[in-house]
């Protein structure tokens, strides 16, 4: 059960299949489950700050089932995508049903694809890194592999990080800023890497160029096999996928900042620089992503052993509920700014716009 509880995420593709089979409002099944049922369910379950002991931690790290569950996301995500493309090409759906299936696929691409890619992108083996990139491909967000690991983790909670939201910045402004500047940041990081090893920037040694060629080829293949309309709808799902990621980015570091200790160096990343959520259902559905404070404090920790820290700022609910709040800026500011003001009294700096 320690491992199988994380298999709850498979409810999303199951609901997607049900949506294709029965149509109507069933086509919105994964969306309703993720952003309706889960936030409601979390109202009845108290968050748990309990950490596992050392023996349990060692046992979990030795148990390969935790890794195999992550690896299974690759065929599941691609099966779901292919099922979507074959269904919208060969079956008849209403406009509402197409919208529902497209948003549902986007939630799966973001919640299962990019989220697991984020976890695997921190692993050390080439095999796991390849799987991470494969999971980013359907959302056209392969540059995340570069920017997140080499940029975001270095610059988190500073103005140098496009993926850290600032105080009183709306989600919608953040989307534009983070999407555009994360891509630019990834390009610059790869350019700097090649210059350090004295390799040409404009060549296939540049991973950013390879990523774009792979993504273009993927789009062309879908267009040739399934047609222009299917390609357009799939592109909509990909956008939903990466905006799901960016919404998560928004809530994870909103308003938090690190002080500089010198002109060129910031204070070390600590648990206080990320919002944390111990709400059980959201933790399980997202492979413990919501224990984000420990993830930034110790990026090498696998998801099954992430810990709670007493000094990390806590969200009032789980990630799905916080994502809904973030879509309503006045409600978001009312909920979060007073928590930030409370943290300011503890000398926690705030990242202003």
> Whole-model pTM?
0.94
What are the residue ranges spanned by the domains of the chain? 4-256+266-344
Torsions phi, psi for 347 (to 5 deg): 70, 30
What DSSP line would sit under 122-185, residue for residue?
TSSSHHHHHHHHHHHGGGT-TTHHHHIIIIIHHHTTSTT-TTSPPBT--HHHHHHHHHHHHHHH
Residue 260 pairs in a beta bridge with: 266
Distance between CA atoms of residues 59 and 36, nearest Å: 35
Q: Is residue 314 pLDDT above 60, yes or no?
A: yes
- 9-13, 44-48, 218-222, 291-295: which has the minimum mean pLDDT? 44-48
In degrees, rounded to 5, the angle at the alpha carbon of residue 206 between the alpha carbons of residues 202 and 212 is 95
219-224 long-range Cβ contacts below 8 angstroms, 24+ apart: 219/140, 222/85
Q: Is residue 291 pLDDT above 90, yes or no?
A: yes
Mean pLDDT of 210-220: 98
pLDDT for 99-122, tens place per residue? 999 999 999 999 999 999 999 999
Mean pLDDT of 229-240: 98
pLDDT for 148-167, tens place per residue? 999 999 999 999 999 999 99
Q: Is residue 47 pLDDT above 70, yes or no?
A: yes
> How many residues are listed for the chain in this entry?
353
Q: Is residue 347 pLDDT above 70, yes or no?
A: no
Task: Output the pLDDT for position 341.
Answer: 82
Q: Is residue 306 pLDDT above 90, yes or no?
A: yes
- 29-38, 84-93, 116-125, 337-346: which has the minimum mean pLDDT? 337-346
How would you class 85 by CB atoms within 10 Å of its CB: exposed for 0-12, middle for 13-18, buried for 19 or more?
buried
Closest CA to 253 of 176, 188, 336: 336
| Mean pLDDT of the chain, nearest integer | 95
User: Are 313 and 256 in contact, with CB atoms under 8 Å apart?
Assistant: yes
Task: Output the pLDDT for position 176.
Answer: 98
How would you class 105 by CB atoms within 10 Å of its CB: exposed for 0-12, middle for 13-18, buried for 19 or more?
buried
Q: Is residue 345 pLDDT above 60, yes or no?
A: no
CA 220, 225, 226, 228 dihedral sign is positive
* Predicted confidence band of residue 349 (pLDDT cuts 50, 70, 90): low
Closest CA to 340 of 178, 171, 177, 165: 165
Task: Output the pLDDT for position 264.
Answer: 82
């Amino acid at each position: 059960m320690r491992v199988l509880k994380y298999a709850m995420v498979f409810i999303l593709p199951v609901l997607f299949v049900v949506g294709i089979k029965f149509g109507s409002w069933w086509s919105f099944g994964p969306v309703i489950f993720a952003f309706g049922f889960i936030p409601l369910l979390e109202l009845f379950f108290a968050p748990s700050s309990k950490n596992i002991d050392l023996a349990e931690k060692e046992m979990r790290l030795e148990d390969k089932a935790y890794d195999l569950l992550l690896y299974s996301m690759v065929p599941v995500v691609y099966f779901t995508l292919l099922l979507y493309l074959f269904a919208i090409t060969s079956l008849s759906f209403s406009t509402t049903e197409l919208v529902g299936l497209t948003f549902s696929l986007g939630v799966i691409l973001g919640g299962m694809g990019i989220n697991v890619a984020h976890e695997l992108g921190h692993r050390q083996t080439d095999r796991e890194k390849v799987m991470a990139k494969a999971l980013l491909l359907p959302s056209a967000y392969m540059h995340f592999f570069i920017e997140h690991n080499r940029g975001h983790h270095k610059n988190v909670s500073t103005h140098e990080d496009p993926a850290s939201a600032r105080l009183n910045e709306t989600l919608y402004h953040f989307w534009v800023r983070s999407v555009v500047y994360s891509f630019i940041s990834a390009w610059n990081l790869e350019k700097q890497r090649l210059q350090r090893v004295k390799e040409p920037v404009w060549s296939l040694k540049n991973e950013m160029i390879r990523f774009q060629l792979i993504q273009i080829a993927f789009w062309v293949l879908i267009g040739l096999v399934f047609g222009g309309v299917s390609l357009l709808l799939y592109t909509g799902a990909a956008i939903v996928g990466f905006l799901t990621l960016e919404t998560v980015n928004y809530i994870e570091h909103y308003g938090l900042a690190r002080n500089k200790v010198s002109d060129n160096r910031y204070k070390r990343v600590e648990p206080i620089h990320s919002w944390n959520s111990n709400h059980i259902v959201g933790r399980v559905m997202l492979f413990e992503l919501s224990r984000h404070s420990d993830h930034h404090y110790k990026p090498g920790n696998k998801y099954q052993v992430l810990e709670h820290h007493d000094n990390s700022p806590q969200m009032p609910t789980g990630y799905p509920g916080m994502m809904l709040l973030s879509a309503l800026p006045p409600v978001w500011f009312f909920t979060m700014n007073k928590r930030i003001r409370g943290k300011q009294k503890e000398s926690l700096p705030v990242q202003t716009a």
